[in-house]
Amino acid sequence: MKMSLKRFVPVLCTGLLIAGGCAKQQAVKADQPIAPSTTTQQAAAPTQAKPAESKPAAAPTTALPDSTIKSEGLAQGQAASSKAAAVSQALEKIYFDFDSDVLSDTARKTLAANFDKLKAMGNVKVRVEGNCDERGSDDYNLALSERRAQAAVKYLASLGIPASRLSFIGYGEEKPVDAAHTEDAWSKNRRDEFTISK
């Protein structure tokens, strides 16, 4: 009995390691900003405060501009982020027919309106995000969503937006706006969205 237990434990451990290594891993998106940790800023503040207590009056005046600079930088970052969100909301989505990457007349009119907005906004960069409904295989939907995004990018470029300001990505069926299993929901999910990228 002891001999079979000694053989079983290493086999079990190896199996668990292999199973853990095969688990689905979530990828971190490169374009998502990483929020600064407030605990490290709070932990750093007490260590800076102790030397300031030992000095008469010069230390508090030097600490004040640092905190002011940090808060101004944070406010500017938030303002830029809210401006990008407002620009993204101003750009309208376009929709596609089932199993198609062809721009409809309605989609072309919407892209023309988006072009006018982009022209007025200056040199912002735009990422076109293609999406599909749930029907079809994962691989097929990913390729179709990329073709849909490319179609919008090509059309915007033909209107005059420089290619250096445009990028695209296809999400396939991974980001539905309506999770229902109806034709109405599927038609909402067959879309391109426009977001401001850095």
Q: Domains (ranges, CATH) in the chain?
A: 95-197 (3.30.1330.60)
Q: Give me the mean pLDDT over the 108-136 stretch.
A: 94
Q: Which is more confidently placed, 119 or 70?
A: 119
Kindly report, residue by residue over 162-195, the tens digit of the pLDDT: 999 999 999 999 999 999 999 999 999 999 999 9
Average pLDDT, the chain: 76
Q: Which is more confidently placed, 77 or 126?
A: 126
- pLDDT computed for residue 170 by the predictor: 98
Kindly report, residue by residue over 99-114, the tens digit of the pLDDT: 999 999 999 999 999 9
Q: Which of 126, 136, 133, 114 is nearest to 177 (CA)?
A: 133
Please write down the HEC assignment for all residues of the chain. Answer: CHHHHHHHHHHHHHHHHHHHHCCCCCCCCCCCCCCCCHHHHHHHHHHHHHHHHHCCCHHHHHHHHHHHHHHHHHHHHHHHHHHHHHHHHHCCCEECCCCCCCCCHHHHHHHHHHHHHHHHHCCCEEEEEECCCCCCCHHHHHHHHHHHHHHHHHHHHHHCCCHHHEEEEECCCCCCCCCCCCHHHHHHHCEEEEEEEC
Q: Which is more confidently placed, 14 or 88?
A: 14
Q: How confident is the model at residue 151 (pLDDT cuts 50, 70, 90)?
A: very high
- pLDDT computed for residue 102 by the predictor: 98
| Structure tokens belonging to residue 28 | 């971190």
The distance of Cα 167 from the centroid of its chain, to the nearest Å, equals 13
- pLDDT computed for residue 172 by the predictor: 97
Checking if the pLDDT of 9 tops 60, the result is: yes
pTM flag (> 0.75): no
Q: How confident is the model at residue 85 (pLDDT cuts 50, 70, 90)?
A: low
Kindly report, residue by residue over 38-84, the tens digit of the pLDDT: 444 444 444 444 444 444 444 444 444 555 445 455 555 554 455 55
- pLDDT computed for residue 90 by the predictor: 85
